[in-house]
Structure 1
Amino acid sequence: MASSCDPRHAPAGDVGAALMMIDSRLKSIYDGQAQPDPEQQRLTAQFTASLGPTGAHDLLDGACTIIFMFTQWLRMAYEDHGKDALASVVSDLVAALRMMPKSVHPDAIPTMAGLVVAAGTGLSPSLWRRQYGDWTEEEMNPLEATAFLLAEHINRLTDDRDFATRLITTALSEAEQD
């Protein structure tokens, strides 16, 4: 029986814009900035404000697509080593999100863990989340943090600070060629 959350039925969203935001945050952390540069924050806020409602939905769907792709890559990588990705990745994600109380309200953590579990079991995070209503303002930072933490996890596993970004850009390039 096909699931209503099958990724084939999910909008991909604006993966490029979502990736740009994640990559920007990764670079700032790798450059030793614990907090984003105020100018970078201003530009990000200006960019997201310029999107409008449709663009914002596309950005959310893009972030969910990236979460799905990262989680699928992690699942395969862990399985190649005889390990359960969800057991490792979700517990690490929850622990990291709990250490971000200014950006991630504790109420959002179960939703973010659910997004990753949905993706890890082959469901669209975007469609899975829609079952529970519209996104809330309080979920925006946790969603960004979840995508960022998954990317950083991949980069640590591969010992390559750009691997997660390349993973997505390669997939986008291949999709454009098809």
Structure 2
Amino acid sequence: MSSPCDPAYARAGDVATAVMVMDSRLKAIYDGKAGTDPEQQRLAEEFVASMGPADADALLDGVCTLIYMYMDWLRTVCERHDKDVLEHVVPTLVATMRMMPNTFRPEVIPTMAGLLIASGTGLSPNLWRAQYGDWTRAEMNPLEATAVLLAEQINRMVGDDQEFATRLITDALAVTDDN
């Protein structure tokens, strides 16, 4: 029986922009400038201000698609090593979230963990979240940070290849464009 949260029913959203934002955040982290570059912050704020509601929804769906794709990749890797993706990934990311109280207020951590668990069990994170109402403003930064944390974990897993998670998505987008 199919779930109403099956990824086949979900909008992919603006994955290209979502991966661009995520990649920009990762580069800032790797360059040691996370959260300290006022020019980067200004550009991000201008970009968000230029978006209409449909664009913002598409970007939100795109970030959820990134989370799903990363968890799907992690699930495949874990299964090859007889590990459970939820047991291997979720506790580490939740512990990291708890160490970042400025980004992850305690009340949003269960939602972000739920997104990871939904994705890790093959459900669409945006359809899973939609069951509980509209996204809140307080969830926007944590949602983006969750995608970045997943990408960073993947990059470390493959031997500190700081571009791997981005290539994973851009390669998938290229295959989709070719079809």
TM-score band, normalised by shorter chain: over 0.9
Q: Deviations over 1:114-159 (max 9, x none)?
A: 0011011111001000000000000001101100000000000002
Q: Supply the RMSD in Å over aligned alpha carbons.
A: 0.8
Structure 2: gaps of 5 or more residues:
none
Give the letter for the 1:14 counterpart: D
Q: Secondary structure of 2:103's partner?
A: coil
Count residues in correspondence.
Answer: 178
Question: Are 1:68 and 1:124, in contact at CA under 8 Å, matched by a contact in 2?
Answer: yes
Question: Helix, strand or coil: the match of 1:23?
Answer: helix
The answer (yes or no) to whether the contact 2:5–2:124 under 8 Å persists in 1 is: yes
1:112 aligns with 2:112: yes
CA offsets 1:34-75 (integer angstroms, 9 cap, x no match): 424111011011111111111010000000000000000001
* Cα drift, residue 33 of structure 1: 1.7
Q: What is the rounded CA distance, in whole Å, between the counterparts of 2:36 and 2:163 in structure 1?
A: 18
1:90-112: CA deviation from partner (whole Å, max 9, x where unpaired) = 00110111111111111000000
Match in the other structure for 1:68: 68
Letter of the structure 2 residue corresponding to residue 37 of structure 1: D
Task: Give 1:5 shift.
Answer: 0.5
The equivalent residue for 1:33 is 33
TM-score normalized by structure 2?
0.97
Q: In the TM superposition, what are the counterparts of 1:13-162 in structure 2 within 5 Å? A: 13-159=13-159, 160-162=161-163
Using the alignment, how far apart are the partners of 1:167 and 1:85 within structure 2? 18
Distance (whole Å) between structure 2 residues aligned to residue 37 and residue 16 of structure 1: 23
Structure 2 letter corresponding to 1:87: E
CA contact (8 A) 2:25 2:34 kept: no
Residues in 2 aligned to 1:156 and 1:20: alpha-carbon distance in whole angstroms = 19
Q: Which runs of 4+ in 1 moved over 2 A?
A: none
Identical counterparts, % of pairs: 62
- Matched residues in 2 for 1:140 and 1:66: separation? 14
Name structure 1 gaps, 5 residues minimum: none
CA distance in 2, matches of 1:71, 1:63: 12
The TM-score, its normalising length taken from structure 1, stands at 0.98
Contact preservation (8 Å) 2:79, 2:85: yes
Task: Please tell me whether the aligned partners of residues 26 and 148 of structure 2 are also in contact (alpha carbons under 8 angstroms).
Answer: yes
Residue-by-residue CA offset, 1:2-32 (whole Å, 9 max, x unaligned): 1000101100000011111100010011111
Contact 1:25 1:36 in 2 (8 A): no
For residue 168 of structure 1, what is the aligned residue in structure 2? 169
